[in-house]
Structure 1
Amino acid sequence: MSAPSPTAPGRPHRLDVLIAGGGLSVGALLWVLGLHGGPPLFGLPAALTLLALTVMAIAELLRRTAPMAALALAVPALALDICTGTLVATVLMFTDVVYAAVLYGPPAAARRLPVHSALVTVLATVVAAAVWHSPQVVLVGIGIALITMAPAWTGVITRNHRDAAQTARLRAEQTALLAEMDRTQAIAGERARMARELHDLVANHLSAIAIHATAAQTIDDASATRAALGVIRENSVQGLAEMRRLIGLLRDPQATAGDEPAATPTLDGLEALVEQARANGAASGLAFTLDDARRPAGPGDPKPPAPVALAAYRIVQESLTNALKHAAPGEVRVRLADAPDGALTVTVRSPYAHRPGPRAPGSGAGLVGMRERIALLGGEFEAGPARGPDGRVWLVRAALPATGEEEQR
């Protein structure tokens, strides 16, 4: 991993300009004062030291924007400097160029340069020992190592720390992003759950209120009007009580996402639910029956899990509400049965016919809520027109596993 250059390509960094200018100034001052490292070799003029110093300063300008090109300039400049008397400023700038080449160069160069610097140090020490045969060769080897190996390995350490910090920062950003995604999904899931509960709690009662209010307005019969108003009052009171239970749950700071209202509906309440639908739909020519074909539960047989029982209750409740609003006059049949694989099947058949409009307005969210409930439990759901023994019917069928996915989680 390599960090991008902090400046545009070809434009030296401000700090690199300062380093190059400072090194060039100090080197020129040392040359004027005659503070060379030694006499020129091979009869070269001492003035070439200034050429090596200038080239090294140019390499410093490129240390970030083009680190490998800077190293390519610095190596011959150092060789020329050594052969023409050696200025300390030139040598120090060379070590900085090596350090920058490892730190800012490509990953492959950062891996090779420390190894190559070690090989150069060993080779130069061996050659010096073969030529001079002096104990001072050890000092020469140490000096070469300080010029080549020390800056290279310092660059490796710095680069590793920088890459580790960048990796940790990216990991922290990814963790924060995942946490935000989880939070968003949790909020969306909770809002969907609240929408389902609000719809299931009030839709049945409000539909009955709308149907009987319409009947009270259109039928010029005092007894029928009183009966309709009685149904309206009963559904209003029940809907208000259920809304209060849900509001109490939402306001409870100790409540969790899996909690339900205190009076959670169960399958034992289906008879009362069908009886209520029977009373609400009598004026529309609807008859409601409940067929519980489940195997009789023994003393030690477990009851369906609470999420399964609640989902089955809500599916029947929503199906009966839809029948009150849309079904043609006839029999609405609710059937519960045990599937061979142990799943609980809920089937609701209602007479289906094209009507000019529903008896009460609806939003279409009921089918969406039923599908969501079944999907959360890992079951199967289908709803739509079908052929029945008595003609065309609207069929709602749900298969609920004995143990829902929500419990497995």
Structure 2
Amino acid sequence: MEIELCAVSGYTQVTRNMSAIRVDDEVIIIDMGMDIGMMALHETEEGNGKLLSTEQLISIGAVPDDKKIEDWKSKVKAIVLGHCHLDHIAAVRYLASKYKCPIIGTPYTIEVLKATLRDDEIRLPNRFIKIDPDSKMKLSENIILEFVTVTHSTLQCSIVVLHTEIGDIVYGNDFKFDANPVLGKTTNFLRLKEIGNSGKVIALIVESMYAHRPGHTPDELKAKDMLIDTIVNEADKEKAIFVTMFSSHIARIKSAIEAGEKIKRKVMVLGRSMAKYIRAGENAGLIKFSKSIEIGEYGSQRKRLLKELNESREKFLVVCTGGQGEPGSILDKIVNKQLPFIFKEGDLVIFSCSVIPQPINRANRERLEKILDVNRVKIYRDIHSSGHASAEDLRDIIKLLKPKHLIPSQGESFQLDALVKISEEEGYKLNKNVHLLKDGERLILN
């Protein structure tokens, strides 16, 4: 039996994730993500941006170049999605129909994917299969898929394990080790330890985004406490309060809703993408938000709610899109006078998110903040805890799984190098059992 990895995309940058694992004559694709920054250039919050072909999106670097596995096309048995973030699932709409196989994910991941496709009126021929976190599925006589629960910054995230008769391939994009998640289960350390102690882990593919950051990534509970404290401390003023975050961060939205309850303000959630993730969570039976909040998903709903806010700023807490300053988001439309709300001096905008480390995101966010500053809006930044592993979390997963080979992914050169350094401290050696791959390169793992 021969096992080979093709690092299709996402191995030299923090986005556009796609990997393919060949086990003899069978191939499993893991993730099909887009470059969020490039996507932002061509799509707005309304989803009505420039329409580019799949080939054009590949040529500008927005979608993975799956021609790298053209010779494996007929061998693909499944497309497996580890979680619902767009840099892991958004290219499904463009690429999946080429492969005669099912798309497999946790219930929440599949609900998000279906909502995304439905919003854009896209129908795929592929069958969707939901498997629960911490469960297994037989993909073929030679391959068993396992999802192991791990904490991140959205719901039902999994470390993907492919079990074969000669050993296991473990895919660890994205994760953190959060002992106090605000929503959902903690990481299944017991199962990870069992997999590691079996001595069968041939390779670990693992993110390196924050490998250069010392220590452990703070728990989500810390971000919740910071957010609620900030909101409560500002609530005695008759000012508008806006909180923005990643649309998929359902736990953070939950914390904002709790803050609204504490200060007796009705929470209104504004933004098509945010509404989509909430709806997916409710369809998967994981949350029940819609009965206690107002949701402005479409134009008429948003305008009605923002008119109410203009008249009674002290009665509402707004949770909305726009944390990256992305064109077409709610905050972007407000500051550009495309929605019926005007910021006044002393109004509050809380950025409960980091800026995705790409030039377009930094530029968009800087532009947004400049306009808010002109309006003398009070800004709080980085009321946030990352969903990605820091240096000691990465060291822990290496120790837990004891892989024979380590393949750093999802990082620029300085981040990849930082993970190499950690691995060398644990006894690994670059180019012997630590492998830095460029997008499109292949590596035989056994």
**Alignment TM class, shorter chain as reference:** under 0.3
Give the TM-score of the pair, scaled to structure 2.
0.21
Greater share of helix residues, 1 or 2? 1
Greater share of strand residues, 1 or 2? 2
Report which structure shows greater RCO (CA 8 Å, sep ≥6): 2
Q: Which has the larger radius of gyration?
A: 1
